[in-house]
Structures are given as C-alpha cells and as structure tokens.
Amino acid sequence: MQKNLDNKFKNKNILITGGLGFIGSNLAIKLVNLGAKVTLMDAMLADYGANRFNIEPVKDKVKVDESDIRDADSVNRLVQGKDFIFHLAGQVSHVLSLSNPFLDIDINIKGTAMLMEACRNYNRSAKVIYTGTRGQYGSVVKLPVDETTPTNPKGIYEISNLTAEKIIKVYNDNFGIKCVLLRLTNVYGPRSQMKNDHYGVVNWFMRLALEDKEIKVFGDGKLKRDFLYVDDCVDALIMSAANENAYGEIFNVGINKPTTFVELAELIVQIAGSGRWEFAPFSAERKALEPGDYYSDISKIKEHVTWEPRISLAEGIKASIGYYQKYRTHYWE
Ligand SMILES: NC(=O)c1ccc[n+]([C@@H]2O[C@H](COP(=O)([O-])OP(=O)(O)OC[C@H]3O[C@@H](n4cnc5c(N)ncnc54)[C@H](O)[C@@H]3O)[C@@H](O)[C@H]2O)c1
C-alpha cells in the first residue's frame, strides 16, 4: 500500500481530531511515515483514549493542540490550510451515552457541526474523513451487513454517530466539502485505552488475560462479530482519503470473517498464556443495547478503494499482546 501513497501525503497538511486516542495515534504514526505534516487536536478528556505515550515514536514530528472540538476559535484556527481532516474526536462509549446523553450529543453532534462550519467558512477544499460505527445499523436481519441495510440505532452514541455522518454529507452536497464516511466494526490493537471496560471489548479481554484474571463472556458466547486490527483500519482511512472514487461515499470497514466471543476469549487466553474465561449473564443494561450478530460486507470499499484487511485475528492479537506486555505501565498500571 505504502508505495502507491507516497506522493499523495508527502508534505500534505493533515489535522486529526481525537489524534492522541487509539485510532488517531496509529493513523498519525503512519501519516508521518508517509511524509505528511500532522497536527493532532485532542481535548484529553478523562474516560477516553487520549494518551501522550501513544505518539512516542513520532512525538517530535507532530504538533499537538490540546483543544476541544466544541471550541469554535480552536476549530476555526485548526482547519485552515489543511489538505485532509480525519475527524476521530468523539464521545466513544455507548454505555456512557445512556448515562450522560447530553455530553454525547454535545461532542458528537455539535462538535461535528462546529468542524463542518469551520470548513465552510475557512477551508472548503479540505477532504474530511469520518469514522462512524457499525452500531448505526442496530439489529440486522441479514448478514453480512452491507451499506444498503437500513439504519436502526439502539443507543444515543449510535444515533449521534449517524447524525454526525449526515451532517458531514450535507456539507459535501451543499458546499462541495469532499468527505468519506466510514462505518467501523470493532477495532482492536496497540494504543487503545485499557483503563475501563466502557468500550473496546477485545482490548479489555487482553488486559484481563495479561493480569491472569477471568474474562466474562456474556450469554452463550455465540454472538458473532468481525474484529478488525487497527493497522488495517488505518489503511482503510488513508486509502479512502487518497482515492477520489471514495468521496461522498459511505463504506463499511470490517473483516469478512466472523468470530464468536467464546472463540475470541479462547484465542486471547491461548496467546497470552495466562488468564481464563467463563460464561456470565448479561446485565439488563448491556442486554438492552446488544444488537445481536454483526459482521461486515466489505465488497463496496474493496471495489471503490481496493482496500481489504490483511491481518488475521490471531496475528493481530499476538501483536497487540506483545505491545501491552512491553508497555502495560503506560496503559493501566
Ligand atoms: N475503536 C473502535 O472500535 C471504533 C469503532 C467504531 C467507531 N469508532 C470511532 O472512531 C473514533 C476514534 O475512536 P477511538 O477508538 O480511537 O477512541 P479513543 O477514545 O481512543 O479516541 C477518541 C479521542 O477523542 C478525544 N476527544 C473526545 N472528546 C473530545 C472533544 N470534545 N474534543 C477533542 N477531542 C476529544 C479523546 O480525548 C480521545 O483521544 C471515534 O469517533 C469512535 O466513535 C471507533
């Protein structure tokens, strides 16, 4: 992939909102390696994934702007002169979106509107790449899920992601601000927050295994998901940003190999060489939010952008466990 993209990002000015978080920091490292000039905007809110250690390999090569997506002055300043804007800042937990809906609505909907207004006023030539969630589909009747599936979100986080997506599309259609709208499946890998289990289930399972604790698999453990390694996710963001065929489009970003939660827990325990797992009942709260089986049909992004995942679940878990074994003090100790 890298060879074809060298010139697309060399010396390009890039803004990553939420850039100190999990996906944002992995993206920043890759873009710096492609020769881009990268600015990271992050409010470093507690509960989410911001971590300065995440950008350790490129810390002298990126600018960090500690500011909030809801602050008009900061956003107006930061969008100026940027060729690409990856919008990843967000309230990212569906659980917290139900206990504190106004924070979610404020960051995900108002924050996105602030960003797009800033682009309308100060930089209409920026390309905006947005990372929404598979949760926008809600419970589905047909698997794998393609982009024509009706959206039926089950929580505030999923609604705010869908709304943010639609806001960005309005600016694409009315003001010519080109966008790519991605709907990500569950992503895992190095540089994720591991402090709590509010989101990021694969990473949470890995922490429990590394601490030699019990992983709780809810229900009968047969629920299916497609778990995507973060490097593959970052490639999807970069490749779609660079490809005119992607502009104005919605794409699922996942891996077309479903895995059950029991299989996931077994694999993690086996690769970590510690921990164990057991069945546990769903809490009423989690049960209500659970949309059932989900795995992505990725034929559309494959066709438009020629992206497809390359890392198997076993390879991704092995690489992630290696990372957290080495750097756990920066993530939860
Ligand atoms: N990780 C996944 O599995 C997954 C799946 C679907 C969608 N997404 C989306 O991808 C994006 C990135 O998620 P992530 O997994 O890297 O989470 P993360 O928590 O690691 O990163 C989000 C970052 O946004 C920052 N942020 C939050 N509110 C902010 C605000 N008001 N202003 C500026 N910065 C703010 C946080 O400090 C954090 O660094 C989010 O929009 C999330 O909804 C992630």
- Please tell me the predicted confidence (pLDDT) of residue 64: 98
Report the alpha-carbon distance of residue 184 to residue 302 in Å, rounded. Answer: 14
- Please tell me the predicted confidence (pLDDT) of residue 287: 81
Dihedral (CA of 195, 196, 197, 200) sign: negative
Q: Are strands 186-188 and 127-133 parallel, antiparallel or unpaired?
A: unpaired
CA-nearest of 9, 8, 7 to 29 is: 9
Q: Which residues are catalytic?
A: 157
Whether 242 and 9 have beta carbons less than 8 Å apart is answered as yes
Q: Mean pLDDT, 10 residues at a time, over the chain (333 residues)?
A: 74 98 98 98 96 98 98 98 98 93 98 98 98 95 95 96 98 98 98 92 97 96 96 98 97 95 98 97 82 94 97 98 98 91
The CB density around residue 21, as the number of other CB atoms within 10 Å, is: 27
Question: 40 lies in a domain?
Answer: yes
- Please tell me the predicted confidence (pLDDT) of residue 283: 85
- Counting ligand 1 atoms within 8 A of each CB, the residue from 85, 88, 205 with the most, and so the one to mutate, is 88
Report the alpha-carbon distance of residue 227 to residue 313 in Å, rounded. Answer: 7
Ligand 1 site, residue 21, Cβ cutoff 6 A: yes
CA-nearest of 20, 6, 1 to 192 is: 20
- Please tell me the predicted confidence (pLDDT) of residue 6: 66
- Please tell me the predicted confidence (pLDDT) of residue 246: 98
Whether 21 and 54 have beta carbons less than 8 Å apart is answered as yes
CA-nearest of 301, 158, 305, 184 to 254 is: 184
Which two tokens mark 293? 């089986």
User: Residue 42's domain is classified under what CATH number?
Assistant: 3.40.50.720
- Counting ligand 1 atoms within 8 A of each CB, the residue from 67, 92, 96, 251 with the most, and so the one to mutate, is 92
Question: 320 lies in a domain?
Answer: no
Ligand 1 site, residue 70, Cβ cutoff 6 A: yes
- Please tell me the predicted confidence (pLDDT) of residue 211: 97
Report the alpha-carbon distance of residue 333 to residue 329 in Å, rounded. Answer: 5
Dump the DSSP string for 221-238. Answer: S--EE-EEEHHHHHHHHH
Ligand 1 site, residue 68, Cβ cutoff 6 A: yes
Question: 303 lies in a domain?
Answer: yes
Report the alpha-carbon distance of residue 275 to residue 225 in Å, rounded. Answer: 22
Alpha helices (H) along 136-200: 156-175
| Ligand 1 atom nearest residue 135's Cα | 6
Question: 329 lies in a domain?
Answer: no
Question: 195 lies in a domain?
Answer: no
- Please tell me the predicted confidence (pLDDT) of residue 286: 77
Question: 126 lies in a domain?
Answer: yes
Question: 280 lies in a domain?
Answer: no
What is the number of domains present in the chain?
1
CA-nearest of 53, 54, 11, 7 to 32 is: 11
Taking every pair of Cα atoms in the chain, the longest distance, rounded to a whole number of angstroms, is: 54
Residue 245 belongs to domain spanning: 2-189+227-255+295-311
Report the alpha-carbon distance of residue 149 to residue 138 in Å, rounded. Answer: 10
| Ligand 1 atom nearest residue 23's Cα | 16
Question: 306 lies in a domain?
Answer: yes
